């Protein structure tokens, strides 16, 4: 029997949500940036401790103009990845707003993981690792990871942690 769960990927534009989405579901990655205009939806069958979990992954576009329709996309969400780009401090600062949206549009509390993406671009870093850890504690995220969706660094670990908290 397969347990179905919906996961949202949230964060500002160009933080790597779509690349993370593609990395999770196993699609070929594209290094060119094309903003998500609304939502990408994918499915990944995942084996977790002998259980089959069907992850319905929703990649929401990060542009502010989409916020009016987002509230409908939050329904039935079991978990969330809140992503920022370690090379753009503004995307880190925007996480507070994304967390506020989660509280506003999701009934009850759900587990979420804070993700600092693009760790492969260390020489361009604007957000220190410790700043991510501090924000994790402040927001009460279940975990914090730095990832590179492009190089598939820590993506599996992020999903394992979130699925563990959802089940």
52-100: pLDDT as tens digits: 999 999 998 755 555 566 677 888 999 999 999 999 999 999 999 999 9
Q: How many whole angstroms separate alpha carbon 158 and alpha carbon 44? A: 14
The CATH code of the domain that includes 54 is 3.40.50.300
Q: How many whole angstroms separate alpha carbon 21 and alpha carbon 8? A: 10
The pLDDT tens digits for 144-162 are 999 999 999 999 999 999 9
| Per-residue model confidence (pLDDT) at position 48 | 85
CA-wise closest residue to 129 among 149, 148, 146: 146
CA-wise closest residue to 146 among 120, 164, 166: 120
- What length is written for the chain? 167
Using 50, 70 and 90 to split pLDDT, how confident is the model at 16? very high
Q: How many whole angstroms separate alpha carbon 73 and alpha carbon 86? A: 26
Residue that has been written with the tokens 């903003």 in this structure: 35
Q: Is 45 helix (H, G, I), strand (E, B) or coil?
A: strand
Looking at the structure of the chain, the number of domains it has is: 1
Given a cut of 60, is residue 28 above it in pLDDT?
Answer: no
* Angle CA 85–59–147, to nearest 5: 35
Q: Which two tokens stand for residue 53?
A: 């979990």
Q: Provide the whole-model pTM.
A: 0.91
Can you give the residue range of the structural domain that contains 84? 2-166
| Per-residue model confidence (pLDDT) at position 33 | 45
Give phi and psi for 12, each to the nearest 5: -65, 170
């Amino acid at each position: 029997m397969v347990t179905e769960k919906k996961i949202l990927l949230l964060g500002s534009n160009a933080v790597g949500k779509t690349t993370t989405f593609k990395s999770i579901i196993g699609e070929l990655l594209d290094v060119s940036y094309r903003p998500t205009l609304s939502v990408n939806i994918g499915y990944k069958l995942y084996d977790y401790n002998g259980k089959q979990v069907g992850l319905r992954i929703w990649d929401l576009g990060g542009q502010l103009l989409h916020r009016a329709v987002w509230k409908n996309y939050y329904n039935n969400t079991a978990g969330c990845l809140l992503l920022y780009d370690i090379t753009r401090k503004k995307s880190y600062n925007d996480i507070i707003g994304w967390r506020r949206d989660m509280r506003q549009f999701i009934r009850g509390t759900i587990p979420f993981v804070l993700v600092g993406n693009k760790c492969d671009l260390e020489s361009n870093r604007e957000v220190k690792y410790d700043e991510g850890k501090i924000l994790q504690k402040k927001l009460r995220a279940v975990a914090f990871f730095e990832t590179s969706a492009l190089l598939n660094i820590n993506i599996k670990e992020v999903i394992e942690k979130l699925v563990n908290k959802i089940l």
